[in-house]
Amino acid sequence: MLVLLMFSVITFLICNIIMLLASFLSKKTIIDREKVSPYECGFDPKSSARLPFSLRFFLIAVIFLIFDVEITLLLPIASIFNLANTISWLVTSAVFLLILLFGLYYEWMQGALEWAE
């Protein structure tokens, strides 16, 4: 037991030392204005390339991706109807759809689906 504890502590220390070394060595010490600016064929940029984007749009895009993946999980349910027990198929499908509907209702009540405020 003591050997296992010793190996665990040594492994933990080695991992932390490697992570600290990586974080210190990866820091940029010299910030060059030309390297930080966006490339526009040698000309000075007209405006900042790091414009803020709409957080609301990002949130709706993430919600769309989540529900899109869940729809792909729903597609095989119809094709396995003949292979599975009817009651278990019905219960599984209903629970999955209820979870989806609860998630949609929660997002709706939180106001995440409202585009304009």
Query: Mind giving me the DSSP string for 54-94?
Result: -HHHHHHHHHHHHHHHHHHHHHHHHHTTTTS-HHHHHHHHH
In this prediction the pTM is 0.50
Q: What are phi and psi of 32, to 5 degrees?
A: -90, 130
- Per-residue pLDDT of 43-94, as tens digits, reads 666 666 667 777 778 888 888 888 888 888 888 888 888 888 889 889 988 9
- Side-chain-side CA neighbours of 101 within 13 Å: the count stands at 6
- CA 108, CA 111: separation in Å to the nearest integer? 5
Structure tokens at 22: 């990586």
Quick one: pLDDT at residue 30?
Answer: 60
